[in-house]
Amino acid sequence: MTPTEELHQTMAALVRPGKGILAADESTPTITKRFKAVGIESTEETRRAYRSLLLTTAGVGEYIAGVILFEETLAQTNGSGRSLPEVATEQGIVPGIKVDKGTTELPGAGGDKITQGLDGLRERLVGYKQQGARFAKWREVYSITPHNPTPLGIEANAEVLARYAAACQAEGVVPIVEPEVLLDGDHDIERCAEVSEAVLHEVFHALQRHRVALELMLLKPNMVLPGKSNDRQAEPHEVAEWTIKVLRRTVPAAVQSINFLSGGQTPAQATANLNAMNRDFTGQPWALSFSFARALQEPAMASWGGRSDTVEDAQQAFYHRARLAADASRGGYDPAMDTT
């Protein structure tokens, strides 16, 4: 099979109505922090047990089309000795892999960050494919301050995303392009829209410069939201209206699916905002779905607490959140069903 044929096959599996992507690719420091918040010790075994718990949840493949894994997880097994990518595949869930190596300061950009990991990327992709990964994810982050992001930060991050996406497609791996405008700060929704539009505009210019096939990638952006410290928070319809406005100005119709990150929203907030987009703004050229991390996992992690006797409760919590997010991807989310 050629790389292009592999890309088409993976895209068909990932872009399915009523399904989204689980982001379970937290780095070790990040998952350690989240575990600590609910009283779980972070060890290689607890991380393996937790991610196995998610992937072995009965029936969750009804709502989850793909899972982004951390490199450690790609090589781990469930209690029966089957690799976690195999466990995902058996559920009808496509395994993917986070391939970036985290952020560092971008010199000359006044506080902007840039993501590392391009060196040796194509060789790593070959290895990840051998372990079962069929798509990849790379995240760039943009803080909003009175001076950030700078034009240099926006341009440099877009260039890195495009180089990553081109490398993935050359190896037959579908790239998820994730430019995240962060929720931190007291900015209003208009400022988030301004920055998100500038970021996405530059990202797609860079993708086209690098001849990335837009039909064979996924976009994972932030929703357009006020900063979490802003006194005026937005209702779902307002979030949906601003988000759709920005996307229509920047994202070509060739992109098949936009899978939003939750970005620090509560599970109910992220789900309600996605639902409003699909309920109130129908007829968009792309599917509007989810690639949530905390907004899918938070209740399950709290229910589990690292104990073997709570696995079933945790799986029920995860299944419930996956179903609600899938409902939102169709505009059919019922807040009365949301008890978290």
- Kindly report, residue by residue over 296-327, the tens digit of the pLDDT: 999 999 999 999 999 999 999 999 999 999 99
Contact 249, 241 (CB under 8 A): no
Residue 338: predicted pLDDT: 86
**Could you give the residue numbers annotated as active site?**
178, 220
Closest by alpha carbon to 223, among 264, 186, 187? Answer: 264
Closest by alpha carbon to 335, among 291, 273, 272? Answer: 272
Mean of pLDDT over the chain: 96
State pLDDT tens for residues 155-185: 999 999 999 999 999 999 999 999 999 999 9
State pLDDT tens for residues 57-90: 999 999 999 999 999 999 998 888 899 999 999 9
Residue 104: predicted pLDDT: 96
Closest by alpha carbon to 40, among 304, 249, 251? Answer: 304
State pLDDT tens for residues 244-261: 999 999 999 999 999 999
Surface-to-core class of residue 8, CB atoms within 10 Å of its CB (0-12 exposed, 13-18 middle, 19+ buried): middle
CATH 3.20.20.70 holds for 3-337: yes
Closest by alpha carbon to 251, among 283, 298, 218? Answer: 218
Assess whether pLDDT exceeds 70 at residue 335: yes
Q: What's the token pair of residue 143? A: 């803080």
State pLDDT tens for residues 8-48: 999 999 999 999 999 999 999 999 999 999 999 999 999 99
Residue 269: predicted pLDDT: 96
Residue for token pair 């050629």: 2
Residue 249: predicted pLDDT: 98
Contact 189, 148 (CB under 8 A): no
Quote the CA–CA distance of 73 and 96 in Å, as a whole number.
11
Give the number of C-alpha atoms closer than 13 A to the C-alpha of residue 149, restricted to the C-beta side.
32
DSSP string, 117-139: --TTHHHHHHHHHHTT--EEEEE
State pLDDT tens for residues 98-128: 999 999 999 988 899 999 999 999 999 999 9
Quote the CA–CA distance of 313 and 113 in Å, as a whole number.
39
Closest by alpha carbon to 256, among 276, 283, 285? Answer: 285
Contact 308, 3 (CB under 8 A): no
Alpha helices in 56-180 (DSSP H): 71-74, 84-90, 121-130, 151-170
State pLDDT tens for residues 203-258: 999 999 999 999 999 999 999 999 999 999 999 999 999 999 999 999 999 999 99
Residue 20: predicted pLDDT: 98
pTM for the predicted model, two decimal places? 0.96
